[in-house]
Amino acid sequence: NAGVTQTPKFQVLKTGQSMTLQCAQDMNHNSMYWYRQDPGMGLRLIYYSASEGTTDKGEVPNGYNVSRLNKREFSLRLESAAPSQTSVYFCASTLQETDTQYFGPGTRLTVL
């Protein structure tokens, strides 16, 4: 099992550009999450999907959209990137919401 995979690993954008971060898990998990990690702020939840076909906002959703494409895949889209979105983005998944979350390796995004 690959676990949770994320693409790309690194990305540099200019202000105003758009991009989609991809996340996939092969553990047949129901719930998936997107976090961002910033120095001094820790990890903060952006969006989550409790099950296929559902999504909900987390702590810092502004400027982002998500799509739960199927049970395996959960993508995060930045429509018009801003320098404040420079961060490391992590995707996570869990079989049930009561269980341990498994994290991907992260995407390091820089917005100039």
Partner 1 sequence: KQEVTQIPAALSVPEGENLVLNCSFTDSAIYNLQWFRQDPGKGLTSLLLIQSSQREQTSGRLNASLDKSSGRSTLYIAASQPGDSATYLCAVSRTSNTGKLIFGQGTTLQVKP
What CA–CA distance (Å, rounded) separates 81 from 79? 6
Residue 26 within binding range of partner 1, rule CB under 8 A: no
Burial 30-53 (b: 16+ CB within 10 A, else e): bbbbbbbeeeeeeeebbbbbbeee
> What distance in Å separates the CA atoms of residue 37 and residue 57, rounded to the nearest whole number?
17
Tell me if 94 contacts partner 1 by CB under 8 A.
Answer: yes
Binding to partner 1 by residue 112, rule CB under 8 A?
Answer: no
Chain positions 48 to 67 lying near partner 1, rule: CB under 8 A, are 48, 50, 56, 58-59
What the block records as the tokens of 69 is 């494409």
**In angstroms, what is the minimal distance from the CB of 77 to partner 1?**
21
The interface with partner 1 within residues 32-51 (CB under 8 A) comprises: 33, 40-45, 48, 50
The site for partner 1 (CB under 8 A) is made up of 4, 31, 33, 40-45, 48, 50, 56, 58-59, 90, 92, 94, 97-106
